[in-house]
Amino acid sequence: MASRTASSLVAIASVAWLSWTSLARAADPTAADRNLAQSLFDEGRRLMDAGRYEEACPRFADSERLDPGGGTVLNLALCYEKQGALALASSTYAEALSFAIAEHRHEREEFARERVAALAPRLPHLTLRIGETPEGLVVQMDGNPVPAAAWGISTPVDPGRHVVDARAPGFAPFQAVLTFAEGQQRELAVTLGPEAPREEGPVAPPPPRVVQWRTPAFYVTAGLAVASLGASVVTGVMALQAHNTVQQECSTDRGYCSSPNGPSEASRATTLAWVSTVTLGGAVVAGVIALILPLAQHQLAALRVGPGGALVTLAY
């Protein structure tokens, strides 16, 4: 149907040209061509008599291509008519009419004229009204190009469903589906719209920047460890100084001190030594806890900074 439709759009306007080229192809067909053409013609007749027009028409067309003749063209036109391809049948009858006139076959001439006249009121016609004609415009009907010479002219088409589409660079494509009844006259405005801007995919937001820190428990224990270590060092130094004073001012074997502050310095040295020892132990314990907290991933907090804001999460 698609190829027949494309042919019908220009066939009537070029009947004389078709006739001339068909006659030109008749020059000196070989004997093999004639034999094959006759076999194809006979097969086409058999298939057409059996009502198998979809198979018969290509046989006639191939026979006419190999050995053009008025009788073959006339049978091809009749086959197209029975198949329902009225526009193509009409143009082929017109070609058969040219053959009949050239061959002085009056009975064929009369038959071809009668069929062209009988088909004329039954032919649907389509007029394509092309609006803007940008550079590179291509108009198609049923997938076959429609020449610019046929734009704006009422041209015959076959009854049934047809698809018209048009496209040009920089414009949105056009498409229309039409269904024709016999004898129906229709016009179609072909208008290309502006090409829609390309839709780009959504831009993925950048991955959130993750800032992590330890929870206050880590800092408290770490700070306690540092403070305890510092206190241990300070009290240790002070205990050492007090011990040195006692060593210088007191005689331990006789329990005698040259200074009245000697006994108090001895007691102070002992107390500071204990404090230094205890704070050192506390520093060690706090330091161990501070190290264990991140290893065990307890109370680990994360700050996620993204386009939508910031989010604080805790991992337990």
CB neighbours (10 Å) of residue 171?
A: 17
**How confident is the model at residue 285, as a pLDDT?**
76
Domain hosting 11: range is 2-121
**How confident is the model at residue 12, as a pLDDT?**
37
End position of a domain, from candidates 95, 121, 147: 121
pTM above 0.75, yes or no: no
One domain for residues 295 and 221: yes
204 within a domain of the structure (yes/no)? no
Mean pLDDT of 148-162: 92
200 within a domain of the structure (yes/no)? no
201 within a domain of the structure (yes/no)? no
Give the closest residue to 107 by CA, choosing from 70, 67, 65, 61: 70
- Identify whether the C-beta of residue 147 lies closer than 8 Å to the C-beta of residue 6: no
Mean pLDDT (the chain) is 78
Handedness of CA 41, 45, 47, 48 (dihedral sign): positive
Tens digit of pLDDT for each residue in 76-132? 999 999 999 999 999 999 999 999 999 999 999 999 999 999 999 999 999 999 988
Domain count, the chain: 3
The answer, yes or no, to whether residue 244 has pLDDT greater than 50, is: yes
